[in-house]
Amino acid sequence: MLTTSELFNLKQVAPLLQPLLTDDMPWRLLKNLDSFLESISDERLGQIHSTAWVIGSVYLDVSARIGPHALVEGPAWIGPGAEVGHGAYIRGGVVMAQGSKVGHSSEVKHSILLSDAKLPHCNYVGDSIVGHNVNLGAGVKVANFNTFDNTIKVGEQDTNLHKFGGAIGDDVSIGCNAVIAPGTLIGPRSLVYSGVIVSGIYSADSVIKHIPVQEVIAKHRSHH
């Protein structure tokens, strides 16, 4: 099992956000998220594009911005320098720490994005914690729901949650179109190759890949 302090450098977390990360078990941080968002003020200080929709209680730092055609459904806390890009969708209770980015056509639901986490293109992240300086390639999905509606397990540990995506440690890089299965923990500085389906618990500095055998043959040409 990877604990919260093994996944994330807690010293990098801004003092205001430290209450989010006070439990050793990563999935329990979602309960902290709910408590944190109960007390936020609706203060929209940053830049909101005229075509964006912002609904409910949303704190938007003066240096943060929400781009064209984005939809932000509070409660949400969007910190310094954070960016919600074109057509992005924020819902269900989200914290975006300093410098984090949710880009074009990406969706984040009930999750914590730590500083400089980047979800730049067509990503989905649900009920998850994404560490400092994580980068998700285009099309990466972090699934949060078991098809059979069972509670989510992390290894052999039952979280008693019907929705939990995973926890992605600091400085992880995930290639395009990878799928992170519910209940997955990925240790810091790990690398996930493109197109991989990732499930389980991976220690720090892992390289996770699946390279199928590729066969190339000459195309048959009929002679007339």
Q: Is 86 annotated as catalytic?
A: no
Instruction: List pLDDT tens digits, range 97-149.
Output: 999 999 999 999 999 999 999 999 999 999 999 999 999 999 999 999 988 87
Instruction: List pLDDT tens digits, range 51-79.
Output: 999 999 999 999 999 999 999 999 999 99
Domains of the chain: 4-208 (2.160.10.10)
Bridge partners (DSSP) listed for residue 97 = none
Q: How much is the mean pLDDT over the chain?
A: 96
Q: 211: which 2 tokens? A: 């390279």
pLDDT of residue 214: 82
Is 89's pLDDT higher than 70? yes
pLDDT range class, residue 209, cuts 50, 70, 90: very high
Q: What pTM does this model have?
A: 0.94
DSSP string computed for the chain: ---HHHHS-GGGS-GGGGGGG--SSGGGHHHHHHHHHHT---EE-SEE-TT-EEESSEEE-TT-EE-TT-EEESSEEE-TT-EE-TT-EEEEEEEE-TT-EEEET-EEEEEEE-TT-EEEES-EEES-EE-TT-EEPTT-EE--B-TT-PPPEETTEE---SB--EEE-TT-EE-TT-EEPTTEEE-TT-EE-TT-EE-SEE-TT-EE---------PPP----
Which one of 49, 69, 86, 121 is the catalytic residue? 121
Of all residues in the chain, the percent with pLDDT exceeding 70 is: 99
Q: What is the 3-state secondary structure (H, E, C) of 30-60?
A: HHHHHHHHHCCCCEECCEECCCCEEECCEEE
